Structure 1
Amino acid sequence: MTGPRMRRVLVTGGGSGIGRAIARAFAEAGDAVTICGRRMDALEETAQGYTMTLRQADVTNEAQVAALFDQPYDVVVANAGGGPAAKLRNTTLEQWNDTLAVTLTGTFLTFRAALDGMGQGGRLIAIASTASLKGGATIAAYASAKHGVLGLVRSVAQEVAKQGITCNAICPGFVDTPLAQGAIEGLMEKKGLDRAKAEAMVASGNPVGGLIRPDEVASAALYLASPGARMINGHALSLSGGEI
């Protein structure tokens, strides 16, 4: 007798931060993990000590996304995204378009391609943000894109429910990643704060206090991909210590 087939898992934006933690968590769980991103050196760093397939791809490029799905995946985590910290009046059209392209269009292209071969028990997971659930004074473009991601997740969830596939979003607050560290360093420079005070300001929206760990986001992804999460569909899982 042969054992159960290894699940095939794709994580976009797998070269750092949340994507890196999720990819490693699925690999440690025994899944066959593929990671993609724009920078091969970052992907190689993620895969050190792990067995992973590395694919260089830009999620805003339709052809490159389609090429990722030369074989179907059981779990697809759309993690790639980003955007500037800027008030609306200071946001350029280029910044706006770039933010929508990588965060919203990238998720759309990833999920659309994933559905071509995904079968019963498949899991689509978008890494959204608490910005999917509220606005922010200096994140107009980012919050708009993340609200769009959540609308996409809720719509896809209804589309695929009868196929035994689920589609959910994880909505973390500030996670301890290079992006958060950049925000902290920006406050240090702008306001003349030491690191501890700047980090406290960044994490002040989290009632528990402190930054969220990337492995905590990974744990949520593992759960949503598990058989026990079969009835969780179209959900926005707030991972924010009670901020939302």
Structure 2
Amino acid sequence: MSKNIVGLARQSPPIDTEAPYDTASLQGKTIAITGGASGFGAGFARRWAGYGATIIIGDIDSTQGKALVEELRKETRNASHQFLYCDVTLWQSQVDFFRRAVELSPNGRLDQVVANAGIEESGTKFNEPHHLDQDEPPEPQWRTIDVNLKGVLYTAHLALFWLPRSSYNSSDFKPDRHLLLIGSVASLIPFAGHIQYSIAKHGVLGLFRSLRATSFQHGIRVNLLLPYFMDTPMISPVGRAFLAGIGMGKHEDVVDAASRFAADTSIRGRALAVGPRVRLDDDGHLLPPNAQQANEISSFEVFAHDFEEVEAYTLRYVKILNAVEAGRGYIGWAGDIVKAVCSPFLAWLKG
């Protein structure tokens, strides 16, 4: 029995990161971005608003969020861009954000959701316990876990509910229900000294690898972005000292990789790591930075082969989901036939 479920899970072919992509698909889309007031989220918002999308930002930073929305409205002449206060660690805050985002969307729908909100290490240092010999030792503070993992779980859970409820009234508008998760290089490697952050980002990777096997049942494509250390003002002088000589990625490369996911509606179940720009020869070997006639890349795929050989449980589970989906299709078809046959008779009775 073949244990390759690439087709069953609807995973798209490998990404050619050097191929151009058409941004026209973003015209008229409504995209909700958590943590969109600054950092990568703000970069996504500016780029996609420029492509004709309506952006709805959820963040706790009202000052920067409102300023960014005013900038987007002015630059794009689209008054529908919105800022909504949202604390991703609070369930009701995210519930309210999604409900209001749908209400404020020009078309009453969400086409894409980006679970972008995140923070650097904050709260209790896991590997530095203190005062635990007291009668009532202080409870650890898991702020990083709450924002970077629990908040993402809340966002993904709500996206799975609201994205399929998007209605498309225009026959020439191509539906696109997309959930983009933002992980980190810490999703892939040990991040020494930042245990909460590593736990959270490993959790986001686990969410992606599981969710992409089943999201087709909701008509949703799920993708993951994994940025490395980026050359932005957020990197402290101490951090820069640690990274000296290693090289950092470019903010615009992360925005470009996310834009490929957002614009290319054929990409499903793929993860891109984004890091420093490097030069490779035709065989994929690393070349010196000053090498001539070499391909320069900043992103590459990870965990691309999960579905090529799976264990029996996953094989059976995904097959069952496909059977259920097919069954729903037949039931819907049968219902349409019954309506078509019975409608004239019911109209005759009413007459």
* Whole-angstrom CA distance in 2 between matches of 1:46 and 1:91: 40
Q: Is the 8 A contact 1:83 1:141 kept in 2?
A: no
| TM-score of the aligned structures, taking structure 2 as reference length | 0.57
Aligned 1:100-139 pairs, distance under 5 A:
100-119=145-164, 121-139=176-194
> Identity over the aligned pairs, expressed in percent?
30
> Structure 1 residues 145, 163: closer, same or farther in 2, change over 3 A?
same
User: How many angstroms apart in 1 are the aligned matches of 2:251 and 2:33?
Assistant: 14
Q: What's the secondary structure of 1:89's corresponding residue? A: coil
User: Post-superposition shift, 1:46?
Assistant: 2.3
Match status 1:29 vs 2:55: no
2:240 paired with 1:199: yes
Q: Assess, with a 3 A threshold, how the Cα gap between structure 1 residues 4 and 112 changes in structure 2: closer, same or farther.
A: closer
Partners of 1:154 and 1:167 within 8 A in 2 = no
Compute the RMSD of aligned alpha carbons: 2.6
Pick the aligned partner of 2:87 from 23, 35, 58: 58
Q: Which residue of 2 aligns with 1:89?
A: 127
**In 2, Cα distance between equivalents of 1:238 and 1:138:** 21
Between the aligned partners of 1:223 and 1:39, the Cα distance in structure 2 is 27
Specify the structure having the higher radius of gyration (Cα): 2
After superposition, give the CA deviation of every residue in 1:119-155 in whole Å (9 maximum; x if it has no partner): 3521111111000001121111101100001111122
Aligned to 1:193: none
What is the alpha-carbon distance in structure 2 between the residues aligned to residue 203 and residue 42 of structure 1?
30
- 1:1-244 → structure 2 map (5 Å cutoff): 6-51=28-73, 52-70=81-99, 71=102, 72-84=109-121, 88-90=126-128, 94-95=140-141, 97-119=142-164, 121-180=176-235, 183-184=236-237, 187=238, 199=240, 201-202=242-243, 204-205=245-246, 209=247, 211-226=248-263, 228-233=264-269, 235-241=270-276
C-alpha displacement at 1:50, in angstroms?
0.7
Q: Is the 8 A contact 2:26 2:52 kept in 1?
A: no
Question: Unpaired segments of 5 or more residues in structure 1?
Answer: 188-197
Distance 1:80 1:17 in 2: 10
Distance 1:204 1:48, change over 3 A: farther
CA deviations over 1:25-47 (Å, ceiling 9, x no partner): 11111101000111210102322
Opposite residue 62 of structure 1, the aligned amino acid is W
For structure 2, which runs of at least 5 residues remain unmatched after alignment?
A: 1-24, 74-80, 103-108, 131-138, 165-174, 279-297, 301-351
Shift of 1:90: 2.2
